[in-house]
Structure 1
Amino acid sequence: MPTPRETILAALHARLSALPATALRGDVLPERVPVEGLLILREGEPGEPEVTLSPLRYHYQHRAEIEAVVQGADRDAAFDTLTASIGTVLAADRTLGGLCDWAEAEAPRAVDLSVEGAASLKAAVIPVLLHYSTADALA
């Protein structure tokens, strides 16, 4: 049975997969970036939990990361559209179907990356804070 952490990350990946961009989870950057863009969900760090007793609960602010990448002549507009769509998906259901208490993305820091013999890439890591509680630190 999957842990709450895995269930939440899978739910986030499922929501990203509904976007026109290709959504991967934990994969390496492929040689070609799809025209619609590419999203790679990284598990990130759960961080140190706040702990409450009676009943014992571990309250996490898990920092997952979404790598967003676009390529092509109109990459600025494509990147803006892609990052806005991530925000729209998260705003539509901040609890990911009741699996977590709150999910919120932070602003991306975009960079342009040149590729020899191809159109430049525009990419950013978008941190996503996932607030949730578990009864076990390993769950």
Structure 2
Amino acid sequence: MPTTRETILSALHARLSTLPATVLRGEVLPERVPAGGLVILRDGDPGEPEVTLSPLIWHYHHRAELEVIVQGRDRDAEFDALCAAIGAALAADRTLGGLCDWVEAEAPAPADLPLEGGASLKAAVVPVVVSYSTSDPLA
């Protein structure tokens, strides 16, 4: 049986899979960026939980990361559209079907990355904070 953390991260990946881009989880950066862009979900860090003692419950604000990458001549517009699509996908179901208390993305800090012999990339890490509670930090 998967842990609460894994269940939530799988649901987040499924939610992001509705995007008009290729969405991977925990994969290495491929040699080519697909048309429409690329989003790689990284599991991130659950952070230090707050603990309620009666009943014993751990409350996490887990920081997952999305690596968002586009390539091409219209990369500024494509990057903007992809980030807006991520925001809309998360806003459509802030609790991931009731699995968490809240999910919210933070603003990206994009960078242009030149490539020798090819169109440059526009990329950013988009932090996604998922708030949830569990009765066991390992369950």
Asked whether the two chains share a fold, i.e. TM above 0.5, the reply is yes
* Aligned counterpart, 1:119: 119
The residue matched to 2:34 in structure 1 has which SS?
coil
1:62 aligns with 2:80: no
Which consecutive residues of structure 1, in runs of 5 or more, have no partner in the other structure?
A: none
In the other structure, the counterpart of 2:132 is 132
**Which residue in 1 is equivalent to 2:83?**
83
2:12 aligned counterpart, secondary structure = helix
Percent of residue pairs identical: 74
Report the secondary structure of 1:7's partner residue.
Answer: helix
**What's the counterpart of residue 72 of structure 1?**
72
| Secondary structure, aligned partner of 2:79 | helix
The SS at the match of 1:85 is: helix
The question of 1:38 aligning with 2:23 is answered no
1:71-106 deviation per Cα after TM superposition (whole angstroms, max 9, x unaligned): 000000000000000000000110000000000000
1:20 shift after superposition = 1.2
Moved over 3 A (4+): none
- Aligned-pair distance for 1:18? 1.1
Distance 1:19 1:27 in 2: 17
Opposite residue 46 of structure 2, the aligned amino acid is P
Cα distance per residue 1:33-81 (max 9 Å; x no partner)? 0110000000000000000011100000000000000000000000000
Q: CA deviation at 1:120?
A: 0.2
The amino acid of 1:78's aligned partner reads E
What is the CA RMSD across the aligned residues, in angstroms? Answer: 0.5
